[in-house]
């Protein structure tokens, strides 16, 4: 279980750990070595909003500079949803400061949101893969959902 609220708990993750010592709650730096091991991004940068922002910024930059090759690849079913598959190819020159060389994006036909994204580096090797299978746009969250004292979290 992990809870993070920007500006609260000294901007630390509140984590319930299960291990040999039983169950304990610890506060951890979201950018610390323990949390970042095997990851390119801290958990604070995760989520659909940040992914959409990253795609938009690189798309706009590529279009403005006329350095992007956009390829529509038809429709594809992903997580039971009809999606449009789009490929974005940026300059192979890493110095151009794009996030990646290539991105394959499946956009939900109804919501227009990405449901699956594959990011490739400048050697065209899969670097990141994201999937959003059961997105609820109006999840009805309340203050209790972000309260570390919520008894359901057992912190």
Task: Based on the fold, state whether residues 31 and 93 are members of the same structural domain.
Answer: no
* Whether residues 34 and 70 fall in one domain: no
pLDDT above 90 (res 10) = yes
HEC secondary structure over the chain = CEECCCCCHHHCEEEEEEECCEEEEEEECCCCHHHHCCCCCCHHHCCHHHHHHHHHHHHHHHHHHCCCEEEEEEEEEECCEEEEEEEEECCCCHHHCCCCCEEEEEEECCCCCEEEEEEECCCCCEEEEEECCCCCCCCCCCHHHHCCCCHHHCC
Question: Does residue 103 share a domain with residue 87?
Answer: yes
Domain count, the chain: 2
Domain that holds residue 33: 1-44
The pLDDT tens digits of the residues spanning 17-38 come to: 776 566 788 899 999 998 888 8
Examine residue 145 and state whether it is found in any structural domain, yes or no: no
Tell me if 147 is assigned to some domain. no
Q: How confident is the model at residue 1 (pLDDT cuts 50, 70, 90)?
A: confident
Q: What is the mean pLDDT of residues 28-56?
A: 89
The answer to the question of residue 77 being in a domain is: yes
Q: How far is CA 41 from the centre of its chain?
A: 9
pTM over 0.85: no
């Amino acid at each position: 279980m992990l809870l993070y609220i920007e500006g609260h708990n000294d901007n630390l993750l509140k984590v319930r750990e299960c291990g040999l010592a039983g169950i304990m709650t610890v506060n951890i730096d979201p950018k610390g070595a323990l949390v970042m091991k095997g990851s390119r991004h801290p958990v604070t940068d995760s989520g659909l909003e940040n992914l959409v922002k990253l795609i938009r910024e690189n798309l706009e930059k590529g279009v403005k500079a006329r350095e992007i090759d956009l390829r529509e690849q038809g429709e594809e079913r992903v997580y039971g949803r009809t999606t449009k598959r789009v490929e974005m190819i940026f300059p192979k020159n890493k110095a151009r400061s794009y996030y990646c060389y290539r991105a394959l994006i499946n956009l939900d036909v109804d919501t227009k949101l990405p449901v699956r994204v594959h990011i490739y580096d400048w050697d065209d090797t899969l670097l990141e893969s994201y999937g959003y299978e059961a997105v609820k746009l109006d999840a009805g969250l309340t203050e209790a959902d972000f309260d570390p004292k919520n008894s359901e979290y057992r912190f």
